[in-house]
Amino acid sequence: MQELIKLIQEAVIEISNELKFPDTTYSDEKNSSGDTQLKFDVLSDEIITKRLSTSKSLKALISEEKEETLHLNENGKFIVAYDPLDGSSLMDVNFAIGSIFAIYEEKVSAKNLKAALYSVYGARLELVFCEGDEVKLYRLDKSGAFSYVKELKMAEKGKINATGGTQKFWEEKHAAFIKSLFEEGYRLRYSGAMVSDIHQILLKGGGLFSYPATKDAPNGKLRAFFEIFPLAFIIEKAGGKTTDGKKHSLLELEFDKIHATSPCFFGSKYEITKLLKAYNG
């Protein structure tokens, strides 16, 4: 596991360096979710594959940018599922984007999730890492290594409302719930990069990030194995809560397809409890 963490650190440093002088144009290819790939989506995927596949402990890699699972060492213990460039539609506007990693043991299932990490490529490079019960924030220092900054914890209630999905396709119950949070005084914060929006909620101590089921996307947009599960693992270990609108944790969900999606909500206890009541009466 430690070897994989080290390789992930090296990969995100390489991606961050490449982001200083990037090619921001599109390729001619689409990924499994139907998104046209940026050349930088492909490059980030290649960097991560190149570095992680040197590990003998790696059984397979699953990437947002790969149609199929990449099988590596039959006797490897871990499977890493990753989104190489989350928020890539923000490449052109120079907003903070990131990479997300989930480390599963033997089988890709939320129950087998052993560690989760994400990087934020912003004004500086940060890495959030959770193995065990602590969520830790690291920052790249002048020596070129990650330094520990602090443990991250969610408060019982936040002030931020990060609302995703096309509003004209929201269900009525969702629209009413979001409106009720604004009426309580919540402030809108939504960039279009899940990793940065959730990072803001974690750093500010609470709030809600939602990507609901909509009439145009009844199963939501965000992908279970490399977006939802790792971020749900981190939010819950930091003391927050998650749901798909029905279950009391996103980590209870099970999927067969590697690119499966789900509606998802991540937040402090207060907002998720209120959402479950609003959704289920």
Min dist CB 82 to ligand AHM, Å, is: 11
Min dist CB 193 to ligand AHM, Å, is: 5
Report the residue closest to ligand AHM, judged by CB.
Answer: 194
Cβ neighbours of residue 93 under 8 Å, at least 6 residues apart?
A: none
Among 182, 239, 183, 238, smallest CA distance to 210 is for 182
- Distance between CA 174 and CA 60 in Å, rounded? 37
- Distance between CA 78 and CA 87 in Å, rounded? 26
131 is in an annotated binding site: no
89 is in an annotated binding site: yes
* Length in residues, the chain: 281
87 is in an annotated binding site: yes
106 is in an annotated binding site: no
Q: Which stretch binds Mg ion (CB under 5 A): 77-85, 122-130, 199-207, 231-239?
A: 77-85
In single-letter form, the type of residue at position 161 comes to: N
Q: Does 11 bind ligand AHM (CB under 6 A)?
A: no
Q: How many residues bind ligand AHM (CB under 6 A)?
A: 13
Q: Does 193 bind ligand AHM (CB under 6 A)?
A: yes
Q: Does 22 bind ligand AHM (CB under 6 A)?
A: no
- Distance between CA 79 and CA 69 in Å, rounded? 10
- Coil, helix or strand for 74? coil
Q: Does 83 bind Mg ion (CB under 5 A)?
A: yes
Q: Which stretch binds ligand AHM (CB under 6 A): 20-28, 44-52, 84-92, 150-158?
A: 84-92
88 is in an annotated binding site: yes
Q: How many CB atoms lie within 10 A of CB 24?
A: 13
- Coil, helix or strand for 58? strand
Cβ–Cβ under 8 Å, residues 41 and 134: no
Any idea which residue has 């099970």 for tokens?
Answer: 254
3, 10, 18, 35: which one binds ligand AHM (CB under 6 A): 35
268 is in an annotated binding site: no
Q: Which stretch binds Mg ion (CB under 5 A): 75-83, 103-111, 157-165, 197-205?
A: 75-83
Q: Does 52 bind ligand AHM (CB under 6 A)?
A: no
Q: What is the 3-class SS of 151-170, one letter each residue? A: ECCCCCCCCEEEECCCHHHE
Q: Does 87 bind ligand AHM (CB under 6 A)?
A: yes
Rg (C-alpha) for the chain, rounded Å, is: 18
Q: Does 126 bind Mg ion (CB under 5 A)?
A: no
Cβ–Cβ under 8 Å, residues 106 and 58: no
CB-nearer residue toward ligand AHM: 148 or 182: 182
Min dist CB 84 to ligand AHM, Å, is: 9
- Distance between CA 152 and CA 142 in Å, rounded? 22
CB-nearer residue toward Mg ion: 160 or 195: 195
Annotated binding-site residue numbers for substrate:
86-89, 190, 221
Q: Give the footprint of ligand AHM on this chain (CB under 6 A).
A: 35, 64, 83, 86-89, 164, 192-194, 211, 221
Q: Give the footprint of Mg ion on this chain (CB under 5 A).
A: 83, 86
Annotated binding-site residue numbers for Mg(2+):
64, 83, 85-86, 227
